[in-house]
Amino acid sequence: MPADKNGDIRMNEAFTRQWDALRDEADHALRRCLPAEDTPPAVIHRAMAYSVFAGGKRLRAVLFLAVADALGWRHPERARPAAAIELIHTYSLIHDDLPAMDDDDLRRGKPTSHKVFGEAMAILAGDALLTLAFQLLSRYPDDRGYVARRLAVIEEVARAAGTPAGMVAGQVLDITAPGQATGPDRLHEIHRLKTGAMIRVSVRAAALLAGADERTLARLSEYSEALGLAFQITDDILDETASPQALGKTPGKDRQQGKLTFPRLYGLEQSRNLAGRTVADGLAALDALGGAVDTAFLADIARFVLARGH
Amino acid sequence: MPADKNGDIRMNEAFTRQWDALRDEADHALRRCLPAEDTPPAVIHRAMAYSVFAGGKRLRAVLFLAVADALGWRHPERARPAAAIELIHTYSLIHDDLPAMDDDDLRRGKPTSHKVFGEAMAILAGDALLTLAFQLLSRYPDDRGYVARRLAVIEEVARAAGTPAGMVAGQVLDITAPGQATGPDRLHEIHRLKTGAMIRVSVRAAALLAGADERTLARLSEYSEALGLAFQITDDILDETASPQALGKTPGKDRQQGKLTFPRLYGLEQSRNLAGRTVADGLAALDALGGAVDTAFLADIARFVLARGH
């Protein structure tokens, strides 16, 4: 699965078709769960929809649904919790882009929320998406049999999104010491928290709702941790090497802001090697699940993440 | 229960003692549920604690616990969900005070979060408190018997905190059309959403967890709606009449910002009358519960809210 110079990946057609089908399933759920854009006060609902439908890959929702598929879990409402996780991801992007934070004008090639709706509305849109995510998680699947599982998922998602063990903690580390901390431990810690925790919980939430046993949950967790790390390494590589068009934002921004990145710490070649070894760890975790779980698509996702950075 | 000129209320001693006991119960739970201030990354945990312990009255937690008392619900972990509601209230104050929103430097006589920790950390502290609230609600009471009730509470709290039916929607209305909309319907709508919804859910969450029947829940909801409205009217009155010391912030700010307030719409005297009639409605809802529920303290809370504005 080779990448062209812009960081786009020419995956084989079956992979792309499967990814798109799961992304469409998530998008359909997202459209149904967001307040209609003309519901008063309309401006906030427009702002929410603007960022949610700004053209992301839906990695987290696709991962959730791919795990559900792998475990044979096809509940008709399974895309709602996947959508909730995407809402949390979107809220984090809106708040990260604010002038007080990373001060980004572009995200995925489009003006960021505060450029379109103003800072106040961007802050509120993020707050509203985070809140709506927990509302959805409390309801879906809307079946008595899922009551205890839904609570377990809410707790894990909140932990992964918050502090000290989740995304908010990672963002704090990322913005409080740019350029100061230069060790690999610090870099891994930032990414484990800032992006890793939510990727991990995307996998675990699906497994928990599907009723996976402890052993399956443990192997899938290892897979998700490897995937999250590989994703961040390739993201850092793309920030250095991809064109602005492919990136949808100004490349080299992390470096300009003095942020610690994998290429800055290890160089490009060593970063690619690290991503390769990490993905191999993730594939090994999938293999350890044995033949009872169809992990082919999950393995392809890991290879896809790796291919992005080459 | 007369008020002195600074807006402080000289309530009778038994009322004050009962309020303080419930506030202490909530404070104790808050101290236990926040990450320790030296847990890395420490700055965010200091920012969270700074605003949570900035000296609020804890009206929402006290209401929750007073309803629990009235219904005889004394679960040892009952203060955790009350604390979660206070965390959501605190997050909303931190974000409301941001320069992009109301741009307030003082809150309860102390510098606001962004003045002390900077804007980025204030945004993140708010995000983290909102997230932690749902984590707590997913766990407490940590008893199998409460599983379905916890989910119902999470959904109601998320709805009350979000949009289109909750606090975020109210804040959007409040900041998008200051001075433009001058009708009583608009004013009531703003307050029903911005402060009313969370006060209402403070009451309803306790009743839901306590296992109240539909009729009790309906009467308590009426009480909470009256209380929320009366609270907002007296808040507007205090903004016009109280000293800066009593208010803990610059008085007259709402008027300066061209915000629609009850005194601006009705005048002070008519606003006081409206608050009085509203509290009478709330007391009537409590009376309708009959002798099975001890509503004496809930009634005193309503009278206390009324006394603030006189």
* Secondary structure (DSSP) of B171-195: HHHHHHSTTT--SHHHHHHHHIIII
The tens place of each residue's pLDDT in chain B, 310 residues long, gives: 444 444 445 568 999 999 999 999 999 999 999 999 999 999 999 999 999 999 889 999 999 999 999 999 999 999 999 999 999 999 999 999 999 999 999 998 999 999 999 999 999 999 999 999 999 999 999 999 999 999 999 999 999 999 999 999 999 999 886 555 567 888 999 999 999 999 999 999 999 999 999 999 999 999 999 999 999 999 999 988 877 666 666 666 776 777 788 998 999 999 999 999 999 999 999 999 988 899 999 999 999 999 987 7
Which residue of B44, B45, B168 is in closest CB contact with A44?
Answer: B168
**What residue ranges in A70-111 does DSSP mark as E strands?**
106-107, 110-111
Which secondary-structure segment (H or E) carries A276?
A: helix A268-287
Note whether A157 and A205 are within 8 A (CB). yes
List chain B residues with CB under 8 Å of A163: 35, 41, 44-45, 48, 128, 131-132
Chain B residue nearest residue A126, CA to CA: B127
pTM score, whole prediction:
0.94
Q: Considering Cα of A125, then A40, then B223, then B278, what sign does the dihedral take?
A: positive
Min Cα distance A155 → chain B (Å) is 5
pLDDT tens per residue across span A3-26: 444 444 556 899 999 999 999 999
Q: Which of A197, A214, A190 is nearest to A158 (CA)?
A: A197
Note whether A60 and A305 are within 8 A (CB). no
The reported pLDDT for the residue numbered B262 is 92
B132 touches chain A (CB under 8 A): yes
- ipTM exceeds 0.85, yes or no: yes
List chain B residues with CB under 8 Å of A119: 100
Note whether B131 and B48 are within 8 A (CB). no
Three-state SS for B111?
A: strand
Would you say domain A13-308 falls under CATH 1.10.600.10? yes
Q: Considering Cα of A201, then A202, then A206, then A207, what sign does the dihedral take?
A: negative
Q: How confident is the model at residue A248 (pLDDT cuts 50, 70, 90)?
A: low
* Secondary structure (DSSP) of B116-182: HH-HHHHHHHHHHHHHHHHHHHHHSS-SGGGHHHHHHHHHHHHHHHSTTTSHHHHHHHHHHSTTT--
Q: If you average pLDDT over residues A198-202, what whole number do you get?
A: 98
